[in-house]
């Protein structure tokens, strides 16, 4: 009887334990849900694993450490009447399902195996998926296989050259390398940038003793351009200070449409701009919301699949959200649903990211979520609901003030209809909001009293460094990578010490600059934006059965391997280019200490390595404590590995700081400056000594 009962089981295989736990609660006792923990079969790590001469045949093996999981899946399959493969509905998920299927069929060919997919982890969605099993989609598998082989050919051929010419442990990747190039080129623009002086002009006017400020709008009906103070003074001399009058009062209205629900890239951009979240953190939180949150009575997926480039919404979800809007924001319900066009590069395989139930409002579920989960869920919910609401409408009053050939302007916007703004909280934008500008009652022809001119000097700023938000936007707009690759690409660049994150900005390191220089010189196609985007299109077309993966690989490999051979012969050796004498002697063996570049940045090590393994961190600044001659170095907390900065004389000196010392000294007291960021000043430098109080605010 026990054996018969076991044979009634249907085995459902998902990717993660969290997902398995959630789905298991939706299905009855006749189902067993378990996790594969991602890929079980893949290319070997120890060698290239691709037979180039035999049509690029991949050498697939069981991933190290996954043998026990595969054996357990085989055991469970042998006890089951049916196997359902429920990995993610994308190329990687299809490949995972395919490899598991092949492994199980080899051992138990009699067990039927099917594939199921779903866009959200809710009971109705899972039960519906169970009713509609399908076969493996081989074009998707072929697209993933081609992508995997392509990336392996690039990485495992270029990386050894970097090891031989620069240092061990370096890597190169197809999407990674072009992203590094973009970041390095922006840094090069910044370094070459020459600031130019320019001036702006405002004026304080009064009417009936009520003052207000207006900006210079036009000179001779053209946008004013002042290169220096003399240009400003020249204009001021031409104006009659007693002859300012209101020449026009213009009233206009504008309607601002809501924006589409989130795609992966837009979610990462907004989370970075609003909360300072890295792309990796945003995707990790979204994964938690997708896989399931315990709400007491049940575990339920809060959002739909979070890797998508589509703004499409299912008819069922549109119907639900329109009913919700009618019940709660009736005046903001449009006559018909809002639809949004998809981008040219969108695969449109999944819906946009949305809540699985619009009735789970952020306030209602806040008690079940961590603060970070609440932030991400809130913006997803707000973006989805607002996307199906009416536009916001504004009235703008603009007053023009003339004097000879100069026109000053002051404007005030007033919100007439909230529209989609009615539902926004965390997503509320400063753009278009009512501007509380104090303007006295004015009419055309009114004479105004000039109180004061306010000329101000400025300097043009270099282009900004990329942040997580802006680099993801660049990658998406240029067709580089796909939703699943944005976050891993940025993380890999940091892990390789090619890029550092400073105040949310992505800054290339000296190592990153050198690696980029070598790859650009030797492998121009690999870092060509157009070439990389075209390759992504090719992979999409393989998935649509329009292209053959083997031909794509052949066309790529022949010229690529010639570049590899050329680079191996002719690239200069840079192995010692980062070593620098310090003038110190090793306290253990007496040999010179050398500044070297390691996996996580620069450090000081004995030149007698490997016989002497003495090493220490680079001092960042002098200890600011009076009477202490120690140095400030980077340290890490043992439990979580969080960085902090402490004195080398610890425990005699107990100075610690969470803020990294900059290379700048305080002009008041001489101690080091640290960099901070707040909503009022943005990024600024301040003295480590709070009693000193020196603050250096940057102009933006």
| Residues annotated as part of the active site | 305
Q: Report which DSSP code applies to 333.
A: -
- CB distance 686 to 674 below 8 Å: yes
Distance, CA of 621 to CA of 344 (rounded, Å): 51
The full DSSP string for 102-146 is: HHHHHH-TTS-EEE---SB-SHHHHHHHHHS-B---HHHHHHHHH
Alpha-carbon distance of 451 to 427, in angstroms, equals 39
Quote helix, strand, coil % in the chain, to nearest 5: 35, 25, 40
CA proximity to 420, closest of 394, 455, 400, 458 = 394
Task: Name the residue among 267, 352, 317 with its Cα closest to residue 125.
Answer: 317
**How far is 94 from 141, CA to CA, in rounded Å?**
6
Give the HSE-up count for residue 48: Cα atoms under 13 Å, Cβ half-sphere: 16
Listed in sequence order, the residues at least 6 apart from 356 whose beta carbon sits closer than 8 Å to its beta carbon are 120, 121, 122, 125, 300, 301, 302, 303, 304
Q: What is the DSSP secondary-structure string of 33-77? A: EEE--S-SEE--SSS--EETTTTTEE--EEPTT-HHHHHHHHHHH
Alpha helices of 311-437 — where are they, by DSSP H?
Answer: 315-328, 362-365, 371-387
Question: Using CA atoms, how far apart are residues 332 and 320, in angstroms rounded to an integer?
Answer: 15
Structure tokens at 107: 């051992």
Is residue 425 within 8 A of residue 378, CB to CB? The reply is yes
Pairing of β 615-617 and β 621-622: unpaired
In the block, tokens 């590069």 appear at: 345
Structure token pair of residue 277: 């979240």
SS3 219: strand
CA distances from 328 to 265, 319, 374, 378, 393 (A): 30, 14, 21, 17, 19
């Amino acid at each position: 009887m026990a054996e018969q009962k076991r044979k009634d089981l249907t085995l459902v295989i998902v990717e993660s334990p969290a997902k398995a736990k959630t789905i298991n609660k939706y299905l009855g006792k006749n189902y067993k849900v378990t996790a594969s923990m991602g890929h079980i079969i893949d290319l070997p790590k120890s060698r290239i694993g691709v037979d180039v001469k035999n049509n690029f045949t991949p050498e697939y093996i069981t991933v190290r450490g996954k043998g026990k999981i595969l054996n357990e899946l085989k055991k469970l399959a042998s006890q089951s009447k049916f196997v359902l493969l429920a990995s993610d509905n994308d190329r990687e998920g299809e490949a995972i399902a395919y490899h598991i299927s092949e492994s199980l069929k080899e051992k138990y060919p009699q067990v039927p195996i099917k594939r199921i997919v779903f866009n959200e982890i809710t009971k109705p969605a899972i039960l519906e998926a169970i009713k509609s099993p399908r076969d493996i989609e081989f074009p998707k598998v072929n697209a993933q296989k081609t992508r995997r082989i392509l990336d392996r050919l690039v990485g495992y051929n270029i990386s050894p050259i970097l090891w031989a010419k620069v240092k061990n442990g370096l890597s190169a990747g197809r999407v990674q390398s072009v992203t590094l190039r973009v970041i390095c080129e922006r840094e090069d623009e910044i370094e070459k940038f020459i600031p130019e002086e320019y001036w702006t002009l405002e004026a304080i006017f009064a009417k009936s003793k009520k003052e207000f400020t207006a900006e210079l709008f036009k000179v001779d009906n053209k946008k004013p351009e002042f290169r220096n103070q003399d240009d400003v003074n020249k204009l001021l001399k031409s104006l009659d200070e007693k002859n300012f009058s209101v020449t026009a009062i213009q009233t206009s209205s504008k309607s601002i449409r809501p924006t589409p629900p989130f795609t992966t890239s837009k979610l990462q951009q907004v989370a970075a701009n609003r909360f300072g979240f890295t792309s990796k953190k945003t995707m990790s939180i979204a994964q938690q919301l997708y896989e399931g949150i315990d709400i007491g009575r049940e575990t339920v997926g809060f959002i739909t699949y979070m890797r998508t480039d589509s703004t499409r919404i299912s008819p069922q979800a549109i119907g639900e959200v329109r009913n919700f809007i009618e019940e709660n924001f009736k005046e903001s319900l449009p006559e018909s649903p809002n639809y949004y066009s998809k981008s040219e590069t969108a695969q449109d395989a999944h819906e946009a990211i949305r809540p699985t139930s619009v009735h789970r409002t952020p306030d209602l579920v806040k008690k079940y979520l961590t603060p970070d989960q609440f932030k991400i869920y809130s913006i997803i919910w707000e973006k989805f609901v607002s996307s199906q609401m009416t536009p916001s409408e504004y009235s703008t009053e603009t007053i023009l003030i003339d004097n000879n050939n100069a026109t000053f302007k002051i404007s005030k916007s007033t919100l007439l209809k909230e529209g989609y703004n009615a539902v926004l909280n965390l997503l509320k934008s400063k753009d278009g909001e009512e501007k509380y500008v104090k303007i006295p009652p004015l009419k055309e022809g009114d004479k105004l009293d000039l109180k004061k001119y306010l000329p101000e000097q400025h300097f043009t700023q270099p282009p900004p460094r990329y942040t997580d938000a802006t680099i993801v936007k660049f990658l998406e707009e240029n067709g580089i990578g796909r939703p699943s690759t944005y976050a891993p690409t940025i993380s890999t660049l940091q892990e390789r010490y090619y890029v550092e994150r400073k105040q949310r900005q992505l800054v290339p390191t000296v190592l990153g600059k050198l690696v980029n220089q070598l790859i650009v010189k030797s492998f121009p196609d690999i870092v060509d934006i157009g070439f990389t985007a075209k390759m992504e299109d090719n992979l999409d077309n393989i998935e649509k059965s329009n292209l053959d993966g083997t031909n794509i690989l052949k066309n790529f490999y022949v010229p690529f391997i010639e570049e590899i051979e050329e680079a191996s012969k002719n690239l200069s050796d840079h192995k010692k280019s980062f070593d620098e004498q310090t003038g110190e002697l090793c306290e253990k063996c007496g040999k010179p200490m050398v500044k070297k570049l390691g996996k996580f940045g620069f450090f000081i090590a004995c030149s007698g390595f490997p016989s002497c393994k003495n090493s220490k961190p680079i001092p960042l600044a002098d200890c600011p404590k009076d009477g202490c001659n120690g140095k400030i170095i980077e340290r890490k907390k043992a439990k979580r590995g969080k960085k902090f900065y402490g004195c080398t004389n610890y425990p005699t000196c107990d100075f610690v700081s969470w803020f990294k010392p900059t290379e700048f000294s305080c002009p008041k007291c001489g101690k080091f400056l640290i960099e901070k960021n707040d909503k009022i000043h943005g990024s600024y430098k301040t003295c480590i000594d709070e009693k000193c109080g020196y603050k250096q605010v940057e102009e933006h």
